[in-house]
């Protein structure tokens, strides 16, 4: 039984630590380098799998060394590799610049990710039809996402969209989305919010019910301010972030989304689900790298009471 069908992406991720983010035309010397398997979709799939959700990744990679390594990684994490699509286009490649205080810039070449198509979703439909949630992000084209969400809607399966890296979602895709997870910048672009940088939490809570969103759940992550969320027919709520020392925010949003999916599929009360998701994001932010930081459920369940006790 598959819990989550994830429309994945893979990026051979290379991160450089710098003293400050560069200005236009500026050259900097990096202080350190690390390389790991990345991609928003891969982070989501592994994040959910480690939390205890049986996850089926549909993912495209090249016929290259990174592609071979990705398959080995999936197997080591206990993930099904039947959904791996090999292409003649090289695997995705990314470069991130990270400062000591956690600011970052990320640039991604999609490579094989751009080759994922409707036919690949249709081939994997047996896995999709048995799942409880279909999850997607925007490091792949719209067409396979729409096909997967269309199949999910026909079968009464919930859908979750994290439209990152940002591009404007097509109207038909939003209409097929049950759960929409955005950061502040994405929410501003999605709903035409012009003063997002100065909005207070009270303003966010007043605004959410007024947005043109008709799905079941809307969540906006606000970094160190936590998140705000609106369930259909309910009042908007705010859940505070955990107090941590930030090291690298890369992947924190993916960890949050994985945690939210886990909590919702395990019928957590809504506030508890947001707290759990915030904890997953905080745990990744407090460490360098992403894959090595994505937590297992036992680690999250240890983190939460420890943090609770330290704040009292």
Residue 98 has pLDDT above 90, yes or no: no
User: Is residue 309's pLDDT more than 90?
Assistant: no
Mean pLDDT confidence for 141-160: 98
Q: Is the distance from CB of 286 to CB of 245 less than 8 angstroms?
A: yes
Average pLDDT, the chain: 94
Instruction: Indicate the CATH number of 4-21+30-306 among 3.40.50.800, 1.10.10.10, 3.40.1190.20, 3.50.50.60.
Output: 3.40.1190.20
DSSP assignments along 187-212, one per residue: HHHHHT-S-GGG--HHHHHHHGGGSS
* Boundaries of every domain in the chain: 4-21+30-306
Given pLDDT bands bounded at 50, 70 and 90, which one contains residue 102?
A: confident
Q: What is the pLDDT of residue 310?
A: 59
Q: What is the mean pLDDT of residues 268-291?
A: 95
Sheet holding 227-231, edge to edge: 84-87, 55-62, 4-7, 133-137, 158-162, 179-183, 217-221, 227-231, 237-239
Distant-in-sequence, close-in-space partners of 212: CB < 8 Å, separation ≥ 6? 191
Q: Using 50, 70 and 90 to split pLDDT, how confident is the model at 100? A: confident
- The predicted model gives 34-48 an average pLDDT of 93
CB 137 within 8 A of CB 162: yes
So what's the pLDDT on residue 312?
Answer: 47
What is the average pLDDT across 79-98? 95
**Averaged pLDDT for residues 286-297:** 92
pLDDT on residue 308 = 67
Whole-Å CA distances, 54 to 136, 161, 205, 275? 16, 18, 34, 22
Q: Give the mean model confidence (pLDDT) for residues 186-202.
A: 93
């Amino acid at each position: 039984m598959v819990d989550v069908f994830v429309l994945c992406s893979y990026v051979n991720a290379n991160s450089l630590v710098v003293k400050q983010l560069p200005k236009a035309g500026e050259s900097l010397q990096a202080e350190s380098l690390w390389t790991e398997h990345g991609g928003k979709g891969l982070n989501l799939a592994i994040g959910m799998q480690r939390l205890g959700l049986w996850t089926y990744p549909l993912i495209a990679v090249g016929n290259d060394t990174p592609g071979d390594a990705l398959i080995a990684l999936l197997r080591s994490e206990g993930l099904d590799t039947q959904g791996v699509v090999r292409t003649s286009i090289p695997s995705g490649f990314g470069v991130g610049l990270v400062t000591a205080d956690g600011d970052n810039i990320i640039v991604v070449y999609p490579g094989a990710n751009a080759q994922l198509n409707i036919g690949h979703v249709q081939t994997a439909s047996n896995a999709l039809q048995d799942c409880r949630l279909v999850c997607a992000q925007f490091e792949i084209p719209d067409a396979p996402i729409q096909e997967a969400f269309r199949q999910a809607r026909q079968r009464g399966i919930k859908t979750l969209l994290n439209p990152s890296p940002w591009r404007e979602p097509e109207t038909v895709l939003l209409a097929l989305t049950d759960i929409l997870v955005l950061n502040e910048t994405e929410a501003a672009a999605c709903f035409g919010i012009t003063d997002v940088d100065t909005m207070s939490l009270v303003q966010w809570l007043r605004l959410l019910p007024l947005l043109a969103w008709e799905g079941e759940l809307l969540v906006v992550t606000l970094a160190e301010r936590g998140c705000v969320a609106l369930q259909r027919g309910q009042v908007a709520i705010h859940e505070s972030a955990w107090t941590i020392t930030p090291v690298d925010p890369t992947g924190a949003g993916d960890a949050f989304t994985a945690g939210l999916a886990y909590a919702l599929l395990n019928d957590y009360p809504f506030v508890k689900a947001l707290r759990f998701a915030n904890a997953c994001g905080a745990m990744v932010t407090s460490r360098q790298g992403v894959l090595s930081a994505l937590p297992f459920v036992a680690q999250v369940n240890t983190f939460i009471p420890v943090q609770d006790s330290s704040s009292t």
